[in-house]
């Protein structure tokens, strides 16, 4: 793969950096095993290493998948038993799954707690509580009383409901109509896991989970939309997952999902202009500035690109330096290279 040199790939091995997922596969000649870049197994000697673009090519060369990093599976893929539980809770947010219920299902409570803490930064029971609060919030906004909404959503006491509500929304349930809710999901892609947020109007955020500015983006969205981010179902999130899957399969080159992208006037103009760059093509920051009618706005365009919260769909990865260099990408330059090469190969 032309994106990274042999030495650059070799330097990544052993660092356990998951952001290089999907960029290359490491084959070890002495063992006949191939690994993902973030494998935590002992780093092989340089003379014993061979790199492949994909796991499929490694298999064709007679290598077998590593049992430690499991390169034939998606990185950080949600386990099936957790997918089933999440779907069950989304279908019935009033349901309360306690530790005893997990044990009866053959699931260790500590195991599921660790997974939610690692991937959602909250406990499993906090996730359930936020789903119930989300349901109650909707109910109150639709005219239901606070007390009925509390008990209907599975809370055992009004005081417990009020306390949980105030912790999340920063105010009492009687002020429900003063906050908006953005639903959030986590899902996996060939380049690693991503977070997505959506309002009733459209998709608000689509970012790789290791993006450094992610927490800042969450706070900015909350402030601009007077919102709180909670797990829950959303038709726009369902549509996004379908379209992103089709994109990575090479069958989708244009997106149709509605977007809800609040920003400054200049940022919004820049993001709309980004979406005019055709699939598989690139533009320089200077060309983007000229397209906006301001030849001297190159730096401002670069700054607005960096504030884009919706990766891939608003294709800031298609903007490069005037000299053809790949500069600046929140998901990492290696992902930017991969996306550009992937699009060119699918033209």
Q: How many CB atoms neighbour CB 202 within 10 A? A: 16
List CB contacts of 309: < 8 A, sequence separation 6 or more: 204, 205, 206, 207, 217, 220, 221, 261
* 122: enclosing H helix or E strand: none
Q: Report d(CA 25, CA 34) in Å as an integer.
A: 7
H-state helical runs in the chain: 6-12, 55-60, 80-91, 99-104, 109-120, 124-141, 146-152, 158-169, 214-225, 235-248, 265-274, 285-291, 298-306, 333-345
Rg (alpha carbons) of the chain, rounded to whole number: 23
Q: Which of 66, 197, 204, 316 is catalytic?
A: 316
Q: How many CB atoms neighbour CB 81 within 10 A? A: 15
39 noted as active-site residue: no
Q: Report d(CA 60, CA 14) in Å as an integer.
A: 25
Q: Report d(CA 259, CA 236) in Å as an integer.
A: 9
181 φ, ψ (degrees, to nearest 5): -115, 130
| DSSP conformation class of 51 | E
Q: Report d(CA 85, CA 277) in Å as an integer.
A: 40
User: Which residues are the active-site residues?
Assistant: 316
């Amino acid at each position: 793969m032309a994106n990274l040199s042999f030495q650059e790939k070799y330097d990544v091995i052993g660092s356990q950096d998951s952001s290089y997922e999907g960029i290359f596969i490491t084959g070890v000649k002495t063992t006949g095993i191939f690994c993902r870049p973030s494998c935590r197994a002992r780093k092989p000697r340089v003379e014993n290493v061979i790199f492949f673009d994909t796991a499929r090519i490694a298999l064709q060369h007679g290598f077998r998948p590593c049992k430690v990093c499991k390169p034939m599976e998606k990185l950080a893929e949600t386990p099936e038993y957790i997918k089933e539980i999440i779907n069950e809770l989304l279908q019935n947010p009033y349901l309360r799954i306690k530790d005893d219920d997990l044990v009866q299902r053959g699931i260790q409570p500590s195991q599921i707690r660790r997974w939610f803490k690692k991937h959602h930064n909250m406990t499993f029971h906090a996730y359930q509580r936020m789903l119930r609060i989300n349901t109650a919030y909707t109910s109150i906004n639709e005219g239901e009383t606070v007390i009925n909404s509390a008990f209907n959503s599975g809370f055992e006491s009004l005081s417990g409901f009020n306390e949980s509500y105030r912790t999340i929304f920063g105010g009492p349930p009687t002020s429900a109509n003063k906050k908006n809710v953005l639903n959030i999901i986590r899902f996996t892609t060939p380049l690693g896991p991503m977070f997505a947020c959506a309002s009733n109007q459209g998709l608000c955020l689509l970012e790789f989970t290791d993006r450094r500015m992610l927490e800042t983006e969450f706070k900015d969205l909350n402030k601009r939309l007077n919102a709180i981010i909670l797990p829950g179902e959303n038709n726009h999130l369902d549509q996004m997952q379908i379209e992103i899957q089709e994109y990575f399969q090479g069958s989708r080159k244009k997106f149709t999902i509605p977007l809800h992208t609040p920003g400054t006037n200049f940022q919004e103009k820049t993001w709309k202009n980004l979406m005019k760059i055709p699939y598989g093509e690139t533009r320089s920051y200077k060309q983007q500035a000229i397209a906006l009618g301001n030849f001297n706005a190159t730096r401002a365009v670069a700054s607005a690109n960096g504030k884009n919260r919706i990766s891939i769909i608003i294709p800031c990865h298609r903007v490069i330096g005037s000299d053809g260099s790949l500069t600046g990408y929140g998901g990492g330059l290696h992902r930017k290279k991969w996306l550009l090469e992937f699009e060119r190969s699918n033209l």
